[in-house]
Structure 1
Amino acid sequence: MRYWALVAVPTVLTAAFFYAASDNRHEVSAQDFVNLQQGNAIQPGFRRAHAKGFCVSGDFISSGTLAEYSSAQVFQAGQYPFIGRFSVAGNNPTAPDLKAPVRSLALTLLPETAEQWRTAMNTPPVLAVGTPEKFYQQLLALQNNTIAEFFAAHPETAAFRNWRASYQPTLSYATEQYHSINAFYLINAAGKQQAVRWAAVPTVGAANQLPDPEAVDALQQELFARLSDGPVIFDLVFSLATSADDENDATIIWPDTNPQLIAGQLQIKQATEQSNGQCNAINFDPLVLPRGILPSADPILRARGAAYAESHRRRAREVLLNTATGAHHE
């Protein structure tokens, strides 16, 4: 339960805000949050969350289905390059792949242009809590071994706990479904906005075996071997909010009956070790958005940028000081 709770929420920090502790109010900085995230075992040069991963690249084949909803170039029919990263949760870059209960897929589409779009997706479809303040309290509960009491005192964690109880990890990064979790707005040429969430949905069934299930890098090995037979493909599926949905609360799952549109396909064609890959230096901040996409007012989404920047700053400094090599995905 302790580890599951730790990965219940992606790193979500803001430059400075207040959290309730006893009867006092304390100011907490992004530095404080990253300190909690990395713990005492600092891995110089690596990301403070999702430290273990590898780089991928390929093309997004846009169907043009979302062109009426957004003026973003990437949603116009065509083929657009991306740089991405698969990773597992945790701050240990040498942890066994199969021990991590959460997996992630981060992407930077059109990386060399002003129309660049970054998205960081995770296997959970929802967050456990809905504000940065509560997330900080959750981390404190983890440190104090009171996470069960924390969950009991926060009924909004129910959707996440239900997902956790039913989720069965697959034997491949290629057969997982990855969620934006937070909501965003698509803005079309006329200025009309539509709240959405999205997911990278696998196009193949679950894997039956691993090349070496005892290997520390079992999932990475499987993906590299899979790519030797051809691209790994995901449908990029958008869920459109209705008037019944609150786009600013990421603790609530939207109904399956909401309109679903396939924006196109993500075709992963190459993979490389992260130390030598293009993804290594990228800060996968989900607030890096092109015209035609805007963030919702979700307080956790709004708070993530400062945390990503702080983690990126620390590892960049460590690399420059030659204290370590390698890196990861915010």
Structure 2
Amino acid sequence: MQEELSAPERRKGNMGSWALIVAVIALVVAAFGYVGGWLAPHRLTPKRIVDQLQDNAGTFAGYRRNHAKGVCVVGYFQSNGQAQAYSDAQVFAPGRTPLVGRFAIPGGNPYAPDSSVPIRSMALRFAQANGQQWRTGMNSMPVFPVSTPQAFYDQLKAQQPDPATGKPDPAKVAAFFAAHPETAAFRAWAKTAKPSASFATENYWSLDAFVFTNSAGKRQAVRWRMVPEATDTGSDAGSGGNPDYLASDLAQRLSQGPLHWHLLVTLAQPGDPTHDATKEWPADRQTIDAGTLVLEHTEPQESGPCRDINYDPLVLPDGIEASDDPLLPARSAAYADSYLRRTSEEAHLPGAAVAHPKPEAKP
């Protein structure tokens, strides 16, 4: 047997153990401090991005900090099996995968009129039979304005309303765009973009690139978009000055039957940028029709199944991976911050957790 240590030796050993524990704790705290921005106050963090979204639009308890105004939809994806050669995600096997989705408009004000912005968004959560999920958020524009989280934050800062006017300072916005020539493609699109009359007639782009992997381990960079079967205006829901015409139009259309989109997957070729959402890929790239999105009914977001879903673009099933696009981890982290804020607020709202009374009108 090993001889017992003397009292001084035991004390020395204990002190060494405590020193090691304290050192480990210090390293962990330092790591969390760095990630949270506590030890680097000028470092861009998810909190700073979400705080800036609030500074721009105001804070509305219980709502998302961006794309606050929306509506839930329920349906399924009918795969035709054409994407299986590139991804072994179960959603691409022939058959049906149920989903819960959400249409929305950009901005943090859930009471903004639908005509205030020309962009619409579609978010989807596919629930595979094997328990894995695929979550994706798409927008009705072919390119994103900027390519990095820092540039996105700087854009938000430049567009923050001036307290004196309630509108962004044109000089600050112009200076931002002058310093960011990569915004040219988006600005060219925005010049001709007009608020559409329906969620149902929009194309929705993934913007960010992802990577498909098949059963043999082969990797293929991709982007995707949802292309609607509906092309007509089809509804008078937007007439009469209705500020919520998109939800009305959607309900009216779905009362007549399901709505359909085709999931088109574009395959990148070597050299196509996967890290830059401001750049489109050449139009001659091979595109696969992977199946049909079918939406069957809509529900209010305050009580519908999409309310408590964080449409984190990095919740991916086997067979789909993130690319090297730096916007993806930034989106994921900011979505998480926004989700924690709004769900915490919902629990403390007066009345029911789902009650979101409109603010009193101001003169």
Instruction: Establish whether residue 315 from structure 1 lines up as the match of residue 342 from structure 2.
Output: yes
Query: Per-residue displacement from partner, 1:225-247 (whole Å, max 9, x unpaired)?
Result: 00011101000111111113111
Query: Using the alignment, how far apart are the partners of 1:181 and 1:16 within structure 2?
Result: 27
Q: 1:112 to 1:90 in 2, by over 3 A?
A: farther
State the identity %: 44
Q: 1:60 to 1:326 in 2, by over 3 A?
A: farther
Amino acid at match of 1:54: V
What secondary structure does 2:141 align onto?
coil
Larger strand share, 1 or 2: 1
What secondary structure does 1:278 align onto?
coil
Q: Residue 25 of structure 1: CA displacement?
A: 8.7
Query: Using the alignment, how far apart are the partners of 1:239 and 1:15 within structure 2?
Result: 35
Structure number with the bigger relative contact order (C-alpha 8 A, sep ≥ 6) is: 1
Query: Using the alignment, how far apart are the partners of 2:36 and 2:188 within structure 1?
Result: 32
Please, which of 295, 300, 312 is the counterpart of residue 322 of structure 2? 295
Query: Using the alignment, how far apart are the partners of 1:190 and 1:112 within structure 2?
Result: 22
Q: Do 1:239 and 1:260's aligned partners in 2 also have CA atoms closer than 8 Å?
A: yes
Please, which of 221, 228, 253 is the counterpart of residue 280 of structure 2? 253
Q: Do 1:83 and 1:111's aligned partners in 2 also have CA atoms closer than 8 Å?
A: no
Amino acid at match of 2:48: D
Correspondence for 1:128: 145
Instruction: Establish whether residue 206 from structure 1 lines up as the match of residue 223 from structure 2.
Output: no
Q: Do 1:121 and 1:180's aligned partners in 2 also have CA atoms closer than 8 Å?
A: yes
Please, which of 270, 277, 281 is the counterpart of residue 243 of structure 1? 270
Instruction: Establish whether residue 179 from structure 1 lines up as the match of residue 205 from structure 2.
Output: yes
Correspondence for 2:307: 280
Task: For structure 2, list consecutive stretches of 5 or more residues without a partner in the other structure.
Answer: 1-33, 161-167, 357-363
Query: Using the alignment, how far apart are the partners of 1:111 and 1:281 within structure 2?
Result: 19
Alignment of structure 1 residues 151-166 onto 2, 5 Å: 151-166=177-192
Q: Do 1:30 and 1:306's aligned partners in 2 also have CA atoms closer than 8 Å?
A: yes
Greater displacement, 236-245 / 80-89: 236-245
Query: Using the alignment, how far apart are the partners of 1:112 and 1:319 within structure 2?
Result: 31
Q: Residue 168 of structure 1: CA displacement?
A: 3.4
Task: For structure 1, list consecutive stretches of 5 or more residues without a partner in the other structure.
Answer: 1-13, 18-23
Correspondence for 1:52: 69
Please, what TM-score do these two structures have when normalized by structure 1?
Answer: 0.89
Q: Do 1:52 and 1:91's aligned partners in 2 also have CA atoms closer than 8 Å?
A: yes
Instruction: Establish whether residue 116 from structure 1 lines up as the match of residue 133 from structure 2.
Output: yes
Q: 1:288 to 1:15 in 2, by over 3 A?
A: farther
Query: Using the alignment, how far apart are the partners of 2:68 and 2:355 within structure 1?
Result: 10
What secondary structure does 2:256 align onto?
coil
Please, which of 48, 51, 55 is the counterpart of residue 35 of structure 1? 51
Query: Using the alignment, how far apart are the partners of 2:257 and 2:186 within structure 1?
Result: 34
Q: Residue 54 of structure 1: CA displacement?
A: 0.7
Correspondence for 2:118: 101
Instruction: Establish whether residue 138 from structure 1 lines up as the match of residue 174 from structure 2.
Output: no
Q: 1:292 to 1:190 in 2, by over 3 A?
A: same
Alignment of structure 1 residues 71-110 onto 2, 5 Å: 71-110=88-127
Greater displacement, 54-63 / 34-43: 34-43
Q: Residue 122 of structure 1: CA displacement?
A: 0.5
Instruction: Establish whether residue 220 from structure 1 lines up as the match of residue 247 from structure 2.
Output: yes
Q: Residue 112 of structure 1: CA displacement?
A: 7.4
Q: Do 1:46 and 1:326's aligned partners in 2 also have CA atoms closer than 8 Å?
A: no
Rg comparison, structure with higher value: 2
Correspondence for 1:325: 354
Q: Residue 274 of structure 1: CA displacement?
A: 0.7
Q: Residue 188 of structure 1: CA displacement?
A: 0.3
Q: 1:310 to 1:50 in 2, by over 3 A?
A: same
Q: Residue 159 of structure 1: CA displacement?
A: 1.1
Q: Residue 32 of structure 1: CA displacement?
A: 1.5
